[in-house]
């Protein structure tokens, strides 16, 4: 409690009085409150970083710092937050309309790109960005960064690559979701029932070369 008292002050006529404010017991100075308010956001941010690190290490921390906090929740098949293509796929309507002709644009020698619209029942669902690359002119590499602190632009700047493709091989915790072989080390699940194919850079395709392997009916752990 703040109280005030008056007494005759030195150098002041006897008829004049001055007020002396004193801080009552248990009352904190104003600067402490200001300091506490200033440190509150820092404390909250520190707790958030600590929780993220506990969930997924530095990968989760970097993802949170770059993209903000993410919340994983359940979604119904017709949830409007899902894209139309995903809603149709979840509903079992997975047959798109006939593929339209694409126009290839050459952006560099041996490198062409095109956009393929995807339609279902005459309505646009999605669009695929296609690339056509001459393996004799370009070298392919499969890279990963467990810290999760580099986006596509960062990879372009770090490698000087003409094209960077996000493979999407990792879970929300930064662990490989599908089998990945990097520098001769096999990462991800030991067994994986594949239904599509694999893109292989190097190996029997030669240094920097590339080839596609049909994985239908094969197990990744097998021959």
The string of pLDDT tens digits covering residues 160-182 is 999 998 876 777 666 778 777 77
Q: Is residue 47 part of a domain?
A: no
State whether the Cα torsion 142-148-153-155 is positive or negative: negative
Q: Is residue 172 part of a domain?
A: yes
Is the pLDDT score of 15 beyond 70? no
Classify the phi-psi angles of 39: left when phi > 0, otherwise alpha if psi is within -120 to 50, otherwise beta. Answer: alpha
Is residue 6 within 8 A of residue 17, CB to CB? The reply is yes
How far apart are alpha carbons 189 and 177 in whole angstroms?
Answer: 7
Q: Is residue 167 part of a domain?
A: yes
Domain extent for 197: 140-222
Tokens at 167, concatenated:
């493979």
pTM above threshold 0.95 = no
Band (pLDDT 50/70/90 cuts) for residue 130 is: very high
Q: Is residue 215 part of a domain?
A: yes
Is residue 97 within 8 A of residue 149, CB to CB? The reply is no
pLDDT tens digit string along 177-223?
Answer: 877 777 777 878 877 766 677 777 766 656 656 778 887 766 655 44
Q: Is residue 212 part of a domain?
A: yes
Q: Is residue 42 part of a domain?
A: no
Q: Is residue 114 part of a domain?
A: no
| Count of structural domains, the chain | 1
Q: Is residue 183 part of a domain?
A: yes
């Amino acid at each position: 409690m703040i109280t005030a008292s008056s007494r005759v002050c030195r150098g002041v006529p006897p008829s004049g009085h001055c007020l002396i404010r004193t801080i009552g017991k248990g009352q904190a100075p104003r600067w402490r409150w200001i300091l506490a308010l200033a440190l509150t956001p820092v404390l909250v941010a520190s707790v958030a970083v600590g929780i993220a690190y506990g969930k997924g290490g530095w990968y989760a921390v970097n993802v949170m710092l770059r993209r903000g906090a993410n919340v994983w929740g359940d979604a119904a098949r017709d949830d409007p937050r899902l894209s139309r293509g995903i809603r149709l796929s979840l509903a079992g309507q997975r047959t798109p309309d006939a593929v339209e002709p694409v126009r290839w644009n050459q952006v560099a020698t041996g490198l062409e790109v095109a956009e393929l619209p995807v339609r279902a029942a005459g309505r646009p669902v999605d669009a695929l960005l296609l690339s056509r690359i001459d393996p004799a002119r370009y070298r392919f590499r499969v890279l990963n960064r467990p810290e999760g602190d580099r986006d596509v632009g960062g990879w372009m700047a770090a490698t000087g690559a003409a094209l960077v493709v996000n493979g999407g091989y990792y879970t929300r915790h930064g662990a490989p979701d599908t089998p990945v072989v990097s520098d001769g080390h096999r990462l991800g699940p030991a067994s994986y029932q594949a239904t599509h194919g694999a893109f292989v850079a190097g190996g029997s395709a030669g240094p920097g070369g590339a080839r596609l392997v049909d994985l239908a009916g094969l197990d990744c752990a097998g021959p």
